[in-house]
Amino acid sequence: MLDTYRVILRKPGAFSFAWSGLLARLPMSMFNISVILMVQIQYDSYSMAGRVAAIGTLVWAAQTVPTARLVDRVGQRVAMIPLTVMFVIGAVIVVWTAMTRGPEWLLWVGVAVSSVSGPVGSLTRARWSHILKQDEIHTAFALEGALDEVLFIGGPALATILATVVWPPLGLVVCTISAIVGMTFLLRQTSTQPPKRSETGGSSLGFRLPVAVIAVAVIATALGLMFGAFDISAVAFADEHGLKSLSGVILAVLSVGSLLGGLYYGSRHWSMALWKRTVVFAGVLAVGFVALGFAPNLLIFSVIGFFAGATIAPTMTNIDSVVQRVVKSDQITEGMAWVRIGIGIGVAFGAWAAGWLIQNEGARYGLVVAAAAAVLVFVLALATIPLLKRGTGNDGEGERPSDPASDTLVEHPPVPPLA
């Protein structure tokens, strides 16, 4: 299975941008939970923690498409340096405010500034799309999903230990330093950077979105709702059982399942059509997270979480693959930004709703929100089947239909599956 990944990592520059991109993305797994833990510890309020995390995520969602367009237009290096500086400034404001028990509105300002961080999760995916052949991109996206899960295995556990055992803001400090180091090394690698739009003669997607991108963005919103509700609910569930310091471990177990599921998924060529895989994995995801809502203790919760997590990376790979199939090469960062904006909006409302319910009713109600969101992912996948079919065709693995030199957006793969 691992031989499939070795092939793409041997491409010139691939290993270097993969590891530096991984380091730069550490805040994806640590920032929100570090903010939640620090605010909850300092202000003793899950509701306030959920509000602050939600504000940051909403701003992040709002900035994703504009900054992605900026990256595609001027290049990753020129765009991401000032955006990374904004992330650092915002993180400093959040830490200083929380540790001095400052007003909540100043925490909102801090997370808002730090959330204007650019499309960090799409930078390496855009590089893979630039250097690989079409039949290798499925594997690369699955690898990216698996690497994300490496972060979500270690990140929440590390954040929890640092915040609850060492010092409340230490998780934020660590992920900020990681972002600086990772982004520095990533942006130095210009040989694998996708060409700027001025070099390809392309244009922005704007609001002329392929229907398949709209479909997966809607599905991603429900997926984000599930993520946002689950993260804060897992912390509260562990807290109610007197083991708050293990909340990061619980999240890590879920991510281990996602990592293994993603690695297996990406090592295979699938003959099943992409739209079918999107629906099937959404259905299994729903079953897993509904089962989590009935877990009586932390042990059962972790066991179910492992198997539920195994569907997360494949589901995200399917969503990203849909976008990659239907947009041009020089629009891929922008196209994926619409998926991230959906996730961001969902995470914000999920954290906000679950935080309020947990504060007033208990952790179990937060898990109900996560389960309902997972069911909604499946329902939306079913409802958007016609749109997914229009965007990706009825074949399995196919060639990306878009040509960066063409002004016409073609939505159907021109070649039969390779599997």
Q: Give the pLDDT score at 206.
A: 62
- Provide CB contacts within 8 A for 198, sequence distance 6+: 73
Secondary-structure percent of the chain, ordered helix, strand, coil, rounded to 5: 80, 0, 20
180, exposed or middle or buried, with CB in 10 Å at 0-12, 13-18, 19+?
middle
In 3D, which of 142, 108, 379, 123 has the Cα closest to residue 258? 142
pLDDT tens-digit readout, 201-238: 555 666 677 888 889 999 999 998 998 898 888 888 88
Q: How far apart (Å, rounded) are the C-alpha atoms in residues 347 and 363?
A: 17
Q: Give the pLDDT score at 39.
A: 94
pLDDT tens-digit readout, 158-204: 888 899 889 999 999 999 999 999 999 999 988 888 887 665 555 56
In 3D, which of 375, 377, 364, 360 has the Cα closest to residue 318? 377
- In the chain the domains, ranked by start, together with CATH numbers, are 13-392 (1.20.1250.20)
Whose tokens are 């319910």? That residue is: 357
Q: Give the pLDDT score at 400.
A: 45
Q: Which sign does the torsion angle of CA 207, 383, 54, 36 carry?
A: negative
Q: How far apart (Å, rounded) are the C-alpha atoms in residues 162 and 274?
A: 41
Whole-model pTM: value is 0.71
DSSP state of 329: G
Q: Give the pLDDT score at 191.
A: 87
Q: Which sign does the torsion angle of CA 40, 45, 46, 48 carry?
A: negative
Q: Give the pLDDT score at 228.
A: 83
Q: Which residues of the chain have pLDDT under 70?
A: 1-2, 134, 149, 152-153, 197-207, 329-330, 391-419
* Token digits of residue 260: 């293994």
Tell me the angle at which helices 120-131 and 332-360 cross, rounded to the nearest 10 degrees. Answer: 150
Q: Give the pLDDT score at 342.
A: 84
Residue 224 three-state SS? helix
Q: Give the pLDDT score at 197.
A: 66
Q: Give the pLDDT score at 194.
A: 85
Neighbours of 191 (CB within 10 A): 10
Q: How far apart (Å, rounded) are the C-alpha atoms in residues 358 and 266?
A: 36
pLDDT tens-digit readout, 69-85: 888 888 899 999 999 99
